[in-house]
Structure 1
Amino acid sequence: MRSKNPDRRSTAWSSRARAEARSNRKPSTCISSVRALLMDRRIGIFGLCVVLIQFANAAMLPLVGQVLSQGNDHSAPLYMSACIITAQLVMMPVAAWAGRACTVHGRKWVLMIGFSVLPIRGVLYTLTGDPIALIAIEILDGVGAGIFGVAAVLVVADLTGGTGRFNLTNGAIGTAISLGASLSHVVSGLIVHHLGYDAAFLALSAVASIALGCLWIAMPETSDTRRHGEGRSRAGHR
């Protein structure tokens, strides 16, 4: 009987030690995950692109609503609803296309298409005040939103594959989206107050152009299939 007690005690102590070791590893694992996220240059570049493109995009539709409400207070809600519905109807087929295109052509070039429609959209808003034309321009909003919604998730999945940091990185990108959107409303409101709507649209278009340039110059392709294909083609040329 006495010989069994030490074994039980040693087993209990070893189980307790393993549990304490696991609990002690959790904070260090979280810290190392955050550190790895902050040290990854590709995630930092993509986060910057996301902040810039959301800064350029978030305030455009509310500004269009304000333009439509000038002198048309009763019709403004109808026009705004039409703008939103138009963008949503376009976004669905574009998102389906974007998923296939990202697989074939890579994430970067598909994202560049989505980014490039935003400066065009902002400039077009300054060229007309016709409600029907403004609603038609929202087609570009659907194109950009459909592409970004699909490609951004794929980029995050590429950058975090096998690391267990997908949720953390996706949350960080969501924070970048919120940061860009909140700054967009504040800054565009100040520009409208001092310089007018056209100046605000042009300023947002300029920021969208900067986001496109940052994506083109600094952001690498994240798709393994695409990168390997480019590597094989370069080797063939040599």
Structure 2
Amino acid sequence: MDEKSREPSQKSLISLDFLNLFLSDVRDGVGPYLAIFLKASENWHPADIGIAMSASTVATVIAQTPAGGLVDRLRQKRMLIVAGATLVSIGCIVIALLPSFPVVIGGQILIGLAAAVFPPAIAAISLGLVGHNKFDRRVGRNEAFNHGGNVLAAVLAGVVGHFITRKGIFFLVAAMAGASAVAVSRIREKEIDHELARGAAAEDEDTPEKEGHQVSGFMQLFSDRRILLFCLAVILFHFANAAMLPLVGQRLSEGKATGATLYMSACMIVAQLVMIPSASLAGRLAHTARKPVFLLAFAVLPIRGVLYTLTDNPYFLVSVQILDGVAGGIFGVLSVLMVADLTKGTGRFNITQGALNTAIGIGAGLSNLIAGFVVEKAGYNTAFLGLAAIAAVATVIFWMLVPETKGSHKAQSLVSSES
């Protein structure tokens, strides 16, 4: 079957929807709620919280590229997601039951290892089901369901954390992990084209890579200047972005015995509600061009960082999350699409995506670690302004140096044939 005629069953497509819905809050464990739990319930210092928050991203950095290579190589992509969901459940439960420093770090490492598997595995299954021609809209739909799941999880976490116990949030994430394992098992294995899923050339395309499904060398890919510049921009973007919401959570919890969990839930709900239409619209607009859509996500980040310094009013801080929703919805869609563009026909889609997510993990891990120390020495406003400045640099690099990737594969093939 060639790529244009691929028609996966409704059962597989709906199961993929539910997988993204349930896996939404599982991919990052308890995320910013961990900062509130450790600050308000366990009285941890900001620097120690920064170390704990960065532990999972350090584990992700180490595992992300090998995980992408594993997804490229193995046909058991569904089982990789089940294994990852199991690790998240174990990590969340041990943190809730035994919140000592070594246990929290260990649980965060398990969650980080699982987080390395989910993005490339979901992207590979999606590409293997629908093909390149429908991939932009499928990724937009994936992200819309993902953010819808985050809204549901944030509402439940706010209720559980405020009215029952903060520890209940950890068990909520563990339950969603179990539900995601059930959803992925209902996707029909026979409908996933595993060659297409790793970025091999489509059967209806005349490319040198198609014959024998040849796979490009890893170093060959990363000698591509376009990929390197794209990774640099993304590292800086996530360095600027990752610590912002946890810092807002810590700021909201200062001097407040109650209410911090509800405010954090409100921050996440506002952002995720905006991300649903943002992701869906990004998938549609990206069908014409990638770069202008993605540039908007970069541009709003420095504005968001500056706005956080204007007031401590919780309602204002929550409203700023609208900008996070715009950027997050676009980023989740366009980062996957641009990697698919840059690696089309190479057979290295998932390992490249894994390497990109390693770059994201580096940015996020350093962000949480350094921001925690900056807050301790110079205060929250200094940390927010520093992150905003880095976001501005990322925006300039992406705007000036990263090329448009829509149709870049055809251009590359034409150049190769002429030479």
TM-score, L = length of structure 1: 0.80
* 1:196 equivalent in alignment to 2:379: yes
Structure 2 CA distance for aligned equivalents of residues 185 and 41 of structure 1: 29
Deviations 1:31-88 (A, max 9, x none): 9621112201111111111110000000000000111112223111110111111111
CA distance in 1, matches of 2:243, 2:253: 15
Q: Which amino acid aligns with 2:228?
A: G
Alpha-carbon distance, 1:119 to partner: 0.4
Once the 2 structures are TM-superposed, how far is the Cα of residue 139 of structure 1 from its aligned partner? Answer: 0.9
Among 127, 138, 145, the residue aligned to 2:328: 145
Question: Paired residue for 1:132, among 315, 325, 338?
Answer: 315
CA offsets per residue over residues 153-172 of structure 1, 9 Å max, x none? 11001101111111111111
Q: Which of 71, 82, 87 matches 2:266? A: 82
Task: Give the distance between the partners of 1:171 and 1:152, measured in 2 at CA.
Answer: 12
Once the two structures are superposed, the pairs formed by residues 1-238 of structure 1 within 5 Å of their partners are 33-104=217-288, 106-224=289-407
Structure 1 unpaired stretches of 5+ = 1-28, 229-238
How far the C-alpha of 1:103 sits from its partner, in A, is: 1.7
What residue is the counterpart of 2:179 in the other structure? Answer: none
In the alignment, the residues of structure 2 paired with residue 102 and residue 128 of structure 1 have an alpha-carbon distance, to the nearest angstrom, of 36
For this pair of structures, how many residues does the alignment match?
A: 198
How many angstroms apart in 1 are the aligned matches of 2:363 and 2:372? 14
Letter in 2 for 1:127: L
Q: CA deviation at 1:138?
A: 0.6
Measure, in 2, the Cα distance between the counterparts of 1:87 and 1:37.
35
SS class of match (2:320): helix
Cα offset for 1:30? Answer: 10
- Matched to 1:196, the amino acid is G
Which one has more relative contact order, counting CA pairs under 8 Å at least 6 apart? 1
Query: Unaligned stretches of 5+ in structure 2?
Result: 1-212, 412-419
Moved over 2 A (4+): 29-32
In 2: Cα distance, 1:55 partner to 1:74 partner: 30
Larger radius of gyration, structure 1 or 2?
A: 1
Amino acid at match of 1:154: L
Equivalent-residue separation in structure 2 for 1:82 and 1:60 (angstroms): 15
Looking at structure 1, the residues matched to 214 and 401 of structure 2 have their Cα atoms a distance apart, in angstroms, of 28
Identity of aligned residues (%): 55
Q: What is the rounded CA distance, in whole Å, between the counterparts of 1:158 and 1:202 in structure 2? A: 34
Q: Deviations over 1:173-224 (max 9, x none)?
A: 1111111100001111121111110000000000000000000111011111
Give the structure with the higher percent helix.
Answer: 1
Structure 1 letter corresponding to 2:355: A
CA contact (8 A) 2:216 2:346 kept: no
Q: 2 CA distance for matches of 1:198 and 1:30?
A: 52
- Over the residues paired in the alignment, what is the CA RMSD in angstroms? 1.9
TM-score when scaled to structure 2? 0.46
Q: Within 1, Cα distance between the matches of 2:216 and 2:280? A: 36
CA distance in 2, matches of 1:88, 1:177: 20
Q: Distance in 1 between matches of 2:368 and 2:308?
A: 17
Quick check: 2:229–2:402 contact (8 Å CA) kept in 1? yes
Residues 10-43 of structure 1 show CA distances to partners (whole Å, capped at 9, x for unaligned) of: xxxxxxxxxxxxxxxxxxx999621112201111
| Distance in 2 separating the partners of 1:210 and 1:71 | 34
Q: 1 CA distance for matches of 2:314 and 2:385?
A: 19
Equivalent-residue separation in structure 1 for 2:404 and 2:215 (angstroms): 28
